[in-house]
Chain A
């Protein structure tokens, strides 16, 4: 991504997030049922949607890596999953705060929505030790791609299972028979969703730029020190850094 496009993306992200949060606190009406605490919805739900879609996108990139053998897709898969785990942490924290405000408890173990997200999150937390346990870089990339595809396929299946399950207290806001969100709330939600999605894309681009730069540095160092045999330590890297094969 060129620096001008990168700058435009960064500005768009900040502006849309600020507009979204401005709408949340100064424009959108107070929820009749939950009151002020419902405002966490505009942060928590977009974060969850983006994190889950990021996991699925990581699986798609893993599939593309297995098909093409192009290491860039492996790096994309790694970064997508990495960022989605970070967003997942934010989902869990904001969810716990919302639960405490609404239900009086930070966590409710018999609620399928909460527990299923935790299962997905913990499953993806095993991605790092799984990946780091394999030294050979080609094998590491292949196995990580298989993990990303399998786990990525589990995400929508898990989501559907939870939607079909009988929810005890967690609200079903979208696609309810009573009509779901009113227009102003839906608009604010969509602005926040766009902002969070742009933030995810922005951070992915920054991470990938870092991986590309560190890969180039490693390659240059190896080329410079080829006769001194001092470039071997680069193979000890555990995260993909987009080096040429």
Chain B
């Protein structure tokens, strides 16, 4: 069972740490994208409120494509 044990394990050690760091970076990237989307939503709501105050129909920030984007995908 243990005949295939490698003598040099340096690569495995560094691979383990690199995988961990990559996972954290990817996760932070996903969180960053989520916060960007929330930021954009807040911007849209702000526009709508301001347009409502001025009595003008609000224009979507992303060029009116919002309806095509299902809400479920924003979880």
Do A and B come from the same complex? yes
Q: Are B16 and A89 in contact (CB-based, < 8 A)?
A: no
| Interface residue count on the B side (C-beta < 8 Å) | 33
Q: Complex formed: what's the CA distance from A80 to B37 in Å? A: 22
Q: Are B6 and A101 in contact (CB-based, < 8 A)?
A: yes
Known A-B contacts A37-B9, A236-B71; A207 and B19 likewise in contact (beta carbons under 8 Å): no
List, in ascending order, chain B residues with CB within 8 A of A217's CB. 38, 41-42, 45
Nearest B residue to A99 via CB reads: B12
| Interface residue count on the A side (C-beta < 8 Å) | 39
Q: How many A-B residue pairs have CB under 8 A?
A: 95
B51 to chain A, nearest CB (A): 11
Which of B16, B71, B75 is A43 in contact with, Cβ under 8 Å?
B16
Known A-B contacts A43-B17, A210-B35, A237-B75; A199 and B6 likewise in contact (beta carbons under 8 Å): no
Question: Which residues of B, 1-43, contact A by the 8 Å Cβ criterion?
Answer: 1-6, 9-10, 12-13, 15-17, 19-20, 23-24, 27, 31, 34-35, 38, 41-42
Question: Which residues of B, 30-72, contact A by the 8 Å Cβ criterion?
Answer: 31, 34-35, 38, 41-42, 45, 48-49, 52, 70-72
Q: A9 near B: Cβ within 8 Å?
A: no
B30 to chain A, nearest CB (A): 10
Q: Are B20 and A43 in contact (CB-based, < 8 A)?
A: yes
Which of A37, A104, A214, A224 is B48 in contact with, Cβ under 8 Å?
A224
Q: What mask results when residues 213 to 233 of chain A are scored 1 for a CB within 8 Å of chain B, else 0?
A: 110010011001000000001
Q: Are A94 and B5 in contact (CB-based, < 8 A)?
A: no
Nearest A residue to B40 via CB reads: A217
8 A-B pairs with C-beta separation under 8 A: A40-B16, A94-B20, A97-B16, A101-B13, A103-B1, A103-B5, A203-B31, A224-B52
The 5 A-B pairs with the shortest beta carbon distances in the complex, nearest first, are A104-B4, A37-B9, A101-B9, A233-B71, A101-B12
User: Which residues does A use to contact B, with CB under 8 Å?
Assistant: 21, 35-37, 39-40, 43-44, 47, 86, 89-90, 93-94, 97-98, 100-105, 199, 203, 206-207, 210, 213-214, 217, 220-221, 224, 233-234, 236-239
